Amino acid sequence: MEVDKSESELLNRALTEWEANGKLTAEQAAMLKATIVPKQNARQQIAQYFFFIALFCTLMAFGAIFINEKFLEKLKAYFSLNDLIIALITTALSVMWFWYVGKKRTNLSPAAYEVYMVLGGLSVLTSLVYFCKEFHIDGTYTAFLSMALPILLILGSMFRSGSLWIGAIITAVAWFESFTTWQSRDNLFMGMNYPVRFAVFGLVILGISFLQKRVAQLSFSQRITFTAGLMLTFAGLWAVSIFGNYNTLVGWQQVRQIHVLAYSIIFAIAAAGSFYLGIRYKDDLARDLGVLFLLINLYTRYFEYFWDAMNKGIFFSILAITFGLLGWLLERNRKPKAAKVDLH
């Protein structure tokens, strides 16, 4: 519920008083307070947009500078620096930066705070790159990512930063890809090709998100982990429904698409399950992603099996009737409940 700042303060004071008087439990008060979202005025919204633009430009500048090795080598030669000195300097700057931002956090808007956290994270990764160069750590990226992942997780949990946590998840995905590629045989890791292993990895991340609810220090990022796990799982299942578990493109092209139909059914069951659970537990994300990937599954199967055989109008008419009936059933089930509430 979006309310003005004064209304937000009033509601929070009322909930705190009701909790103190025993009219609400601590859990109920916390749940209700979480639904109160202060409205942003036009100036705050514009400032937030500028912060996001600044963040994007920072990432682009960082990539342009550090991907260009000739530029870095010129800097090193000009200042007569070696890799260890650069690593120590960037480490010291990172420590001071996180100390300063943590001290000033109460004076920063959430968007500005996350921008500063990203800058600190980039500085930490820069120092890690030069430590790896100095100590000649292998260039397969697996070792670098193995060190970057726990660092980002620790920083994200210490400073309760959503951007650093997202960076940690991206790093985890990159590490998993690098490690499984390194350890794979005939393009298979433990008998799984890329789509299957990433679907499984998505389930692992999804499971971790449920464990985060029980850890107070990590609960702030539970929704981020849940979203990443759900999307990665569905993206992996969608790819599996197309390519199956074949380890080469040639092998996949030699079989008929009907041989991977079972994976399409699993994908559909998973999407339908997410849709059902999202409705039951009032989780809009699970519900919406379930519908989205159910549609993606249906459209993919249409292009695979019926593009040449079935009239396009008939296919889309069937989809329209199916989802129209589904919407009608959901609306029908909702109205009696709404009527019951109005009577009381």
Whether residue 56 sits in one domain with residue 33: no
**34: which 2 tokens?**
């979480």
Neighbours of 140 (CB within 10 A): 12
Whether residue 124 sits in one domain with residue 77: yes
142 pLDDT above the threshold of 50: yes
Q: Give the domain-ending residue among 172, 195, 229.
A: 172
Distance CA 157, CA 173 (A): 18
Whether residue 17 sits in one domain with residue 110: no
**What is the tally of structural domains in the chain?**
3
Q: Give the domain-ending residue among 172, 205, 228.
A: 172
Residue 6: alpha-carbon gap to chain centroid: 33
Whether residue 278 sits in one domain with residue 231: yes
Distance CA 31, CA 47 (A): 29
Residue 87 belongs to a domain: yes
Distance CA 5, CA 23 (A): 24
Whether residue 119 sits in one domain with residue 213: no
205 pLDDT above the threshold of 90: yes
Domain that holds residue 31: 1-39
Whether residue 5 sits in one domain with residue 82: no
Neighbours of 256 (CB within 10 A): 7
**107: which 2 tokens?**
């004076």
Which one has a higher pLDDT value, 216 or 72? 216
12 pLDDT above the threshold of 70: yes
pTM here? 0.77
Whether residue 104 sits in one domain with residue 81: yes
**Res 69: pLDDT:** 56
Rounded mean pLDDT of 168-195? Answer: 93
Scanning the structure block, which residue is given the tokens 């620790």? 154
Distance CA 219, CA 205 (A): 14
Residue 255 belongs to a domain: no
Nearest in space to 296 (alpha carbons), one of 242, 344, 244: 242
Whether residue 128 sits in one domain with residue 148: yes
Residue 59 belongs to a domain: yes
Residue 288 belongs to a domain: yes
Residue 25's pLDDT band (cuts 50, 70, 90): confident
Distance CA 70, CA 68 (A): 6
**Res 344: pLDDT:** 43
Whether residue 199 sits in one domain with residue 167: no
**Res 66: pLDDT:** 59
299 pLDDT above the threshold of 70: yes
Residue 329 belongs to a domain: no
Rounded mean pLDDT of 46-67? Answer: 65
Whether residue 142 sits in one domain with residue 168: yes
Residue 308 belongs to a domain: no
Rounded mean pLDDT of 83-105? Answer: 91
Q: Three-state SS across 149-196?
A: HHHHHHHHHHCCCHHHHHHHHHHHHHHHHHHHHHHCECCEECCECHHH
282 pLDDT above the threshold of 80: yes
Residue 221 belongs to a domain: yes
3-state secondary structure of 37: strand
**Beta carbons of 134 and 82 less than 8 angstroms apart:** yes
Residue 330 belongs to a domain: no
343 pLDDT above the threshold of 60: no
Q: At 2, which helix (H) or strand (E)?
A: strand 2-3
Whether residue 141 sits in one domain with residue 55: yes
**Res 93: pLDDT:** 92
DSSP for residue 262: H
Whether residue 163 sits in one domain with residue 55: yes
Which one has a higher pLDDT value, 188 or 304? 188
